[in-house]
Structures are given as C-alpha cells and as structure tokens.
Amino acid sequence: MKKEKPDFIVDGKRLDGRRPDELRPIKIEVGVLKRADGSCYLEMGDNKIIAAVYGPREVHPRHDQEATHAIVRYRYNMAPFSVEDRKRPGPDRRSVELSKVSRQALEPLVMKEYYPRSAIDIFMEVLQADAGTRTAGINAASLALADAGIPIKGLVSACSVGKVDDTVVLDLMKDEDNFGQADMPVAVSRGKITLLQMDGHLTQDEFHRALEMAISACKDIYELQRKALLEKHSKISFAEDSAKEEGT
C-alpha cells in the first residue's frame, strides 16, 4: 500500500504542527528497573525507549577483557511490536550498525581506565519506533550510565536533523524520515560531537545550518536530562522527609 507523499511544510508548520526548529515532546524517568544497575525510560515524540546498564562487572567471555580498561558494550534492539510491520526478533544488520555508532557516541565519556578487565554493558530496547530511535536511545543510555554510578565526564545528548521540502528541520518524525531528502543523527557532549551520520543529500550550507540546529537542540535536551536526574534524587529526599515526619 503506497502512501502518497504529502506536503511536509504548510504555512511554516509541519505535519504534526511543529515549526522546523522544534523538538517533539520529551518525557524522561530515571531508575525504572530493579535488577539493572542503572536504567532510564524515555519518550521522544512517539518513540518509547528503555535503556539499562550493568557494570562494571566481570567480562563474559573472559577473553574479551582488556588489561588496562573496561570494555564498553552497547546493544540496540527493537521489540517485534515496535514498528508498523512486525519485526522478527533478533539482531539484523541495521541494529548491529546502530549498536556500534551508539557505543562510540558514549564511550569517549566513560572513565574506562578506572575498571580494567571489566565490562560496562549498555542495553537499549525500542518499545515503539517513530524515527530517531538511535538518538533517543543515546539520551536514555547516558542517564542509565549516570544512574548506575558509572564515572562519566558528562552526559551525551542527541537528536536528528534532516531536510524535507528543501527545508532543514529538527527531529524528524517517521513520515519525514521516509519521504524526506536527508536524515542526520547527531550526538553532542561537552561541546564536542560524538555521533554524526548522514543519509541523503545536503549542500554544504544546508549541512552547516543543520548541524547548528542540532547542537542547539542538544543543549535543550541536556537540560531535560539533567533535570530528570535531579528529580529522581528529590523524589528520594521527599520520601525521606515524609518518613522523618512519621518518625517524630
């Protein structure tokens, strides 16, 4: 069933009513799993992602360990029901690639030297996909790493930019991704770029504007990530305060 290509930008508004430089709504909750050492549930638009971290822990298989530092492993996985046409369980070539670039987006921030011969495992599951899952995953994984108490130099913030109807737009949704002219996921940490991919066609000028847009949006995402971590702690403190009152 072929979908007709709609007009993506009408009167300065996109299909979902957003301006070209507007992010989809983001919802974040840190510490949502019991067994994992750290975890985060995150929504970006209709993307629903859960990320979890185990570690540092012993490496299995043992021959994968590194003498001077921890190994960082990342597994991007989509649930079969996360997409329009059910996806067969298990990794495919796309998830292997996304796992690799996502790992490399976070690895530079991890103080691996603190834990030689150990593993820091990051797992990410897409429960519902709507374009931008890898960047949403990186946002969640950053928080899961912090939640697990892993020493990291900073949080990593990520989003995608692209081009539709010859206009550079931020945070593509699914239809924009499918029918658009370019898709460029970007991750930023402490002013440096840790993930950059591009699929499609951009002039150099468009690329410059797209990158500026992404970096600016990542700053906004960073504030939300930071807020989520502080909120988690204040929830604990609040519980203690009310416990205090009960005890007196």
Name which position in 57, 100, 208, 235 contacts other proteins (CB under 8 A). Answer: 57
CB-nearer residue toward other proteins: 5 or 60: 60
CB of 247 to other proteins, least distance (A): 6
CA distance 42 to 34: 17
Compose the 72-91 pattern: x for residues touching other proteins by CB under 8 A, - for all others. ---x-x-xxxxxxxx--xxx
Residue 42's SS3 state is strand
Within positions 167 to 226, which residues make up the interface with other proteins, using CB under 8 A? 189-190, 225-226
Is the peptide bond between 80 and the residue preceding it cis, with omega within 30 degrees of 0? Answer: no
Which C-beta is closer to other proteins: that of 28 or that of 202? 28
The region of 5-13, 15-23, 33-41, 162-170 touching other proteins under the rule CB under 8 A is: 33-41
Region from 13-21, 70-78, 163-171, 194-202 binding other proteins, contact rule CB under 8 A: 70-78
Residues 126-155 that bind other proteins (CB under 8 A): 127-130, 146-155
Tell me how far, at minimum, the Cβ of 73 lies from other proteins, in Å: 9
| Contact assessment for residue 210 and residue 11, using Cβ atoms and an 8 Å cutoff | no
Site for other proteins in 1-20 (CB under 8 A): 1
- Helices then strands, counting H and E runs in the chain, come out as 4, 10
Among 45, 56, 132, 180, binds other proteins (CB under 8 A): 56
Q: DSSP 3-state assignment of 227?
A: helix
Closer to other proteins at the Cβ: 51 or 158?
51
169 Cβ contact partners less than 8 Å away, ≥ 6 residues apart = 8, 9, 14, 20, 21, 161, 162, 163, 176, 180
Tell me the closest approach of the beta carbon of residue 159 to other proteins, in angstroms: 18
**Interface pick for other proteins out of 116, 193, 196, 215 (rule CB under 8 A):** 116
Cα angle value 221/200/193 (rounded, 5°)? 35
Nearest to other proteins of 94, 190 (CB atom): 190
Q: Are 117 and 59 in contact (CB under 8 A)?
A: yes
Among 27, 111, 192, 208, binds other proteins (CB under 8 A): 111
Alpha-carbon gap, residue 120 to 61, rounded angstroms: 13
Write the CB contacts of 183 (distance below 8 Å, at least 6 apart in sequence).
Answer: 131, 160, 162, 172, 177, 198, 199, 200
